[in-house]
Structure 1
Amino acid sequence: MVHLSEEILYFFRKQGFTFVSTLDEDGTIHIACKDIVRITEDGQLFLLDLYMGKTYRNLKRNPALSITAADEHTFTGYCLKGKAKIVPREELAPEIINDWDQTITSRVTNRLLRNMRGEKGHHAHPEALLPKPKYMIMAEVEEVIDLTPKHLKKNV
């Protein structure tokens, strides 16, 4: 695993979701939106995956994945590449499950506040209807790619 800087940790923690890429049996890229439940400086992430769909099947076959996020306003972004495994709920530490609960609570609260201010958003609260996770994807980051254009970096 690689060390993740405070800047990278902050960037991913503030994302509403990330794009997770896996490979199917034919080597075709599959991309799905996933929420990061926890990310640590030692390069470990826990991703929420509720539906046991294509991402789940792909990772069972091939643990390679990339996790990508970008901020359209600052033109910054990162791609984290590594290996993943499926961790059943009963093997997850209680604090990871608690992080999931906190993530959902925060998202519902933010959506309520946006709705009260009349800002754009979903009229319902879909996060509140999500099932409890039966498993999570645990990823170990092996490589970090900074997607920020070189001419926009502060220390170039």
Structure 2
Amino acid sequence: MHGYYRNLLLLSSTVFLLTTASQSSANTQLCKNAALIVTKKEVGNVSYYAADCTQKWETQDIQLDFLYTRDIPEWAFKRAATHFLKKNIPDFSEDSPLNRITALYKPVQKGDLYSLKYTQSNQTLSLFLNQKPLGKITDNQANQYFKIWFGSSPFNAKLKQQLLNQ
């Protein structure tokens, strides 16, 4: 029974986090959910929000929520982000403002929620961990950070397809 109650508590926490995350994005709506797979292991779930799910992600307010079902170290986020930014953004360099977001990553534990939000009107990209702001950047290329998942060489091509209906 102990495992049953622990799983019930985790499920309740997950539903609460997903509900509060979606409510915090007044300008967006939930478009898609997909499993987050890393080296054939499911490590969480990704939710994609947009102002208009039928429009291109590059021209509107968007948000990605990552709900983790496994512990992940900080270095893994930073290494993957840097790798896929270099692959997807021509002339990406270490002094890019996008690196200020990558530098904010912290380790996560099972049940943690990362939210990455972009607001088109002020070109601001914000990173949250469990609804707490970690930092933000305002830059005319800030939404290019989403190329980690939506670029021509994404982190996971199947995930991109599932989230964007491509």
Instruction: Please state which structure has a larger fraction of its residues in helix.
Output: 2
Normalization by structure 1: what TM-score?
Answer: 0.28
* TM-score (ref. length: structure 2): 0.27
Larger strand fraction of residues: 1
Question: Rg: which structure is higher?
Answer: 1
